[in-house]
Amino acid sequence: MATRIQFSRHGGPEVLEQVDVEPLAPAPGEVLVRNHAVGLNFIDTYFRDGLYTPPSLPSGLGTEGAGVIEAIGEGVSGWQPGDRVAYATGPLGAYAEYHNLPARHLVRLPEAIGFEQAAAVLLKGLTVQYLLRQTHRLEAGQTVLFHAAAGGVGSIACQWARALGARLIGVVGSAEKAERAQALGAWATIDSSREDVVQRVLELTEGRKCPVVYDSVGKNTWETSLDCVAPRGLLVSFGNASGAVTGVNLGILAQKGSLFVTRPTLASYADSPARLQGMADELFELIASGAIEVEIGQRFALAEAAEAQRRLAARQTTSSTVLLP
């Protein structure tokens, strides 16, 4: 028998329950992974509370983890039991000792990267990879604006931009977060709690604004972000922490300088096993070289998943959090 965290109804962390289940043999095309570490992400709470709908109830939770292949299903090639792997996409159910998922969602984990490191960074790191290397290919000397620069994705973006020789202006919500973003590699920071973001961008860029603005906040920062994009520049809206952006008047893009806007997702960029592995390899190389440091602020036992989510929602966590089966 093995431990699994699931929920049978939507609600707060209290709906999470620990159950003992018999691991299933992998179906055709699937692998069975024995998790050594599981990633905790805010999106997990959206499935739990009903903002996002799981396929059925009761449902497992989580999509990010790292471990070792225990068994492979019919038709799976290129993998074998004992392989070190990590994953950040696929079906819900990572909050468990064992997780069945299609082999196409796996990435090969090099020996230089630990299981806890991989579970803490893969989803966020792949997000930064497609943002900085594919949605827009960031180049040395470019100046870009990045909202929530001290958060999980932002902290990796600061380091990655520094490694590329780019100048990242990080928008943060406090002096402490500004200090953290700068320590991680932000070229400059803007404290939105006491500074005018648009005015500071104009000052920092000598009136040119930014060719690219990365915005994971959504509704509350939409207009501000548009005002920070240079003519013919790009606004990358990749999250909705404050609510979804709706009712967009496309004429505004013309008024503000023939701007481009995209709403990308990881699934659209990591759309094949080869592309997914290539993205992960670039991330792992930067971690192994020391250019990106993976910070794990909290470790919880798998059985403490509800408490981990409570602290995450209450903003009582720092850096990444992992669950340990």
Span of 6-20, 38-52, 72-86, 252-266 with lowest mean pLDDT: 38-52
pLDDT score for 243: 84
Domain boundaries defined on the chain: 2-121+269-324, 140-263
Mean pLDDT score, 13-26: 96
> How many Cβ atoms from other residues are within 10 Å of residue 58's Cβ?
13
Q: What is the CATH number of domain 2-121+269-324?
A: 3.90.180.10
Q: pLDDT tens-digit profile of 79-114?
A: 999 999 999 999 999 999 999 999 999 999 999 999
State the average pLDDT for the chain.
96
- Is the bond preceding 91 in cis, omega lying within 30 degrees of 0? no
pLDDT score for 240: 83
Q: pLDDT tens-digit profile of 139-159?
A: 999 999 999 999 889 999 999
- Residue that is written with structure tokens 């592995």 in the block: 277
Q: pLDDT tens-digit profile of 174-208?
A: 999 999 999 999 999 999 999 999 999 999 999 99
- Residue that is written with structure tokens 């920071």 in the block: 189
The answer to whether 125 and 205 have CB atoms below 8 angstroms apart is: no
The answer to whether 119 and 65 have CB atoms below 8 angstroms apart is: yes
Q: pLDDT tens-digit profile of 205-240?
A: 999 999 999 999 989 999 999 999 999 999 999 988
Q: pLDDT tens-digit profile of 240-251?
A: 888 888 888 999
- pLDDT higher than threshold 90 for residue 313: no
Cα–Cα separations (whole angstroms), residue 227 to 11, 149, 200, 237: 38, 18, 12, 14
pLDDT bin (cut points 50, 70, 90) of residue 275 is: very high
Burial class (CB in 10 A: 0-12, 13-18, 19+), 314: exposed
pLDDT score for 316: 83
- pLDDT higher than threshold 90 for residue 261: yes
Mean pLDDT score, 161-172: 98
pLDDT score for 113: 97
Structure tokens of 317? 């966590």
pTM score of the predicted model? 0.93
pLDDT score for 117: 97
Cα–Cα separations (whole angstroms), residue 156 to 127, 152, 293, 325: 10, 7, 8, 26
pLDDT score for 317: 82
- pLDDT higher than threshold 80 for residue 315: no
Selected from 2.60.40.1260, 3.40.30.10, 3.40.50.720, 1.10.10.10, the CATH number assigned to the domain covering 140-263 reads 3.40.50.720
* Residues 6+ away with beta carbon under 8 Å from 150: 170, 172, 173, 177, 178, 180, 181, 184
- pLDDT higher than threshold 80 for residue 318: no
